[in-house]
A and B are shown apart, each in its own frame.
Chain A
Amino acid sequence: MPLLYPLVFAAFLFSAGVYGVLARRNAVMVLMSIELMLNAVNVNLVAFNAYLRDQLVSGQVFALFVIAVAAAEVGIGLAIVLLIFRNRETVNIDEVDLLRW
């Protein structure tokens, strides 16, 4: 399989993630979009690993790391969203502007 296919796929996935992060109102959807971006990176890592025939399979190892970190990140992110929901009765991030001036 040519390298181009997974790269195009990853680019599409990443763009969808960026769109989701910038445009969605629901905090849970934003978190999911971040997951999309991370997975796009994972696809790239695995694709290049296969393309370069790396003996140490460092691309795949890295992808595993990213998955682990993403799991942790989602855990914390969902906890924050949950707390915000309890305090403010909303998960609309337009209304969550605690860091305002």
Chain B
Amino acid sequence: MEKVAWLVPTLPLVAWAVLLLVGRRLPGGGAPVGIFAVAVGWVISLAILSGVIGGADAYHVSFEWAPIGAEFDIPLGMTVDGLAAVLLVVVTTISLFVQIYSVSYMRGDERYTLFFANLSLFTAGMLIVVLADNLLLMLFGWEVMGVCSYFLIGHYWEDVANARAAVKAFLTTRVGDLGFMAGIFVFAWAARSFEIERIIEGVESGAISSTTVTLGAALLFCGAIGKSGQFPLHTWLPDAMAGPTPVSALIHAATMVAAGVFLVARIYPVFEASGAVLNEIGVLASITMLIAALLALVQDDIKRVLAYSTVSQLAYMMAALSVGGYSAGIFHLFTHAFFKALLFLAAGAIIHAVHSNNMSEMGGLARAMPITFVTFLVGALALAGVAPLSGFWSKDEILTDAWNAGFGGAGEAATSQSVAQIVFVTGMLTAFLTALYVARMLWLTFGAAYRGQGHPREAEAAMLFPLVVLAIGAALAGFVGLGDNSIATWIQTPALPAHGPVTLNVGLIVVATGLSLAGLAIGTALYRRGLPEHEYLERAPLVWKTLQRKYFLDDLYEQGLVRAVAGALAPATYWFDQRVVDGVVNGAGLGTRRLARGLRYVQSGQAQWYAAALFLGVVGLAVVVTQLIGR
């Protein structure tokens, strides 16, 4: 089955083309085409994963695409190993259910077909990243996602704010991509190949100097920072909520943001070889998870709560990777995809019913929308890390890895112990904060009395079906991490042997669960009666303002970067382009015309003048030949 893995990204790609060309004329606005394409991919992915579980070897196929010189070429190939198989299943599953959900959610939309086309292309982009065996192909899929996120976030571009959010997402991730590209070239230059396998070989054999590895890994991580919304480039992620809710689910659960984590995991041996970069990842991830969790506490927009929660959870995965928890990070990516997609889709159902994103206009929805409530509750508790839901297992494994690296003296990871300790402490703190904002979100949405307009009703079956399926997934996904043949074994590679079965540290479990429950309890106590007249944090004006203004990061970017670029750099480059570049081009044309205007008078039409010139020329040539050359 792994031989036809290339079909998985190709089918959505074909679906995209079909939808763009003739989609509007197809039955159902073309939506069935996209769903069918990803459904076939889903079946193939499941078959591949079951093969991997059965112990199938990694399958690698590659051919030369564009040779550069004698020894260097741009390959086109795919690697189907456990890591790719797990991601394939995640991406196709989430994409499939998001598309099924969208059929109902987007009904009547002006650009319905285009929406599905973009979803297909988006999925294809992520699948290309997952299967790519070389960094250039990965970059290709990576950029496809970048442009799709722009299209999808700006789906309602009639509203200028949405268009701006789309531009922001595109440009912010672009900043990181620049580093990613530079990193690719560093490694391509050092390893004389774009292939990930060659690069890892080069790093492990020591053929690539450690300075180069550190430089390249740091640059590559810039790409991950941008795509996976890590501090300081996380600001685009909450604004990306401007897109339709299914898009948020797709971006925030399975594609795009997961790409950064996947990138780090895919070339993990490279990162493992550089303690400095692992430390950098650990520190940035710690900052990110904490500040994002705090921001989630003060949002009114339910989608923004989830967005910041995504940022925070992605930082969890990054943190896991930074302390050597390769399998823990991917495990969390796996479980997070289920419960976060579920949460977003359920939030979409709520928004559909309430006609508002703001939790201040919700409340009391548990009675009006029971199925949505139950599924949302499952997802929220999984996010909070309540046993035995999926989030609990993966979060616990991350914390265990951080503990072992920081305090256990395992010494396996290249991360410094103090960084691992920071990761562990912030991880614990974030677990508490996560439970707190989850409780706040739950009570404000479903508890107390309804504060909004109209009479919200349960969404239709086509929207509830994906919710129920994903709720089951969110509840049970954690169990793939248990037992001898767990996710850790599936995704192991020769370069990254599994660390063995999950080690359950009972003390840690008790503390982590205690923190989660404490967060839930405090959140319940604070928000049980619904929205308080004044948010509790408003009593600390400084903190409140800082959080409301998102740590002034947006202001900093706006006042610093944007003003510098828009105020000085842009006019300067415009001037350069208009005057110098265009000047050269126009000057060439104008000069020729002027010259011709002068020279045309030579063309007098007097045949005798021509004859005279000819005669003089012949005489001149004769003189030259006889007097100068003939001697």
Contacts and interface: CB of A to CB of B under 8 A. Distances in A.
Contacts of B608: 21-23, 30, 93-94
Contacts of A21: 608, 611
B611 A22 contact: yes
Interface in A68-84: none
Interface stretch (B157-165, B296-304, B390-398, B599-607): B599-607
B59 interface: no
A93 to B, nearest CB: 6
Contact of B606 (A18, A23, A97): A97
Contacts of A30: 608
A86 interface: no
Interface residues of A, number: 13
B606 A101 contact: no
Question: Which of A93, A96, A99 counts the most B-chain CB atoms under 10 A from its CB?
Answer: A99
Nearest to B599: A101
Interface in B585-627: 600-601, 603-608, 611-612, 615
Nearest to B600: A101
B600 A22 contact: no
A47 B456 CA distance: 118
Contacts of A22: 608, 611-612, 615
A94 B606 contact: yes
Chain B's interface size range is: 10 to 19
Contact of B605 (A18, A23, A97): A97
B595 to A, nearest CB: 14
Nearest to A98: B605
Contacts of B603: 99-101
Nearest to A24: B608
Nearest to B603: A101
Interface in A42-101: 93-94, 96-101
Question: Which of B601, B605, B607 counts the most A-chain CB atoms under 10 A from its CB?
Answer: B607
Contacts of A101: 600-601, 603-605
Contacts of A23: 608
B135 to A, nearest CB: 60
A98 B615 CA distance: 22
Contacts of A99: 603, 605, 607
Nearest to A18: B615
B278 to A, nearest CB: 76
A38 B606 CA distance: 22
A100 B600 CA distance: 9
Interface in B244-266: none
A76 to B, nearest CB: 15
Contact of A97 (B604, B612, B615): B604
B607 A100 contact: no
Contacts of B615: 18, 22
B320 to A, nearest CB: 80
Given A101-B600, A101-B601, A93 B611 contact: no
A98 B600 CA distance: 14
A97 B601 CA distance: 12
A99 B603 CA distance: 7
A96 B608 CA distance: 11
Nearest to A94: B606
Contacts of B607: 93, 96, 99
Nearest to B597: A101
Contact of A100 (B605, B611, B612): B605
A15 B608 CA distance: 15
Given A18-B615, A97-B606, A100-B603, 9 more contacts: A21-B608, A22-B611, A22-B612, A23-B608, A30-B608, A93-B607, A100-B605, A101-B600, A101-B601
25 contacts: A18-B615, A21-B608, A21-B611, A22-B611, A22-B615, A23-B608, A30-B608, A93-B606, A93-B607, A93-B608, A94-B606, A94-B608, A96-B605, A96-B607, A97-B605, A98-B605, A99-B605, A99-B607, A100-B603, A100-B604, A100-B605, A101-B600, A101-B603, A101-B604, A101-B605
Interface of B: 600-601, 603-608, 611-612, 615
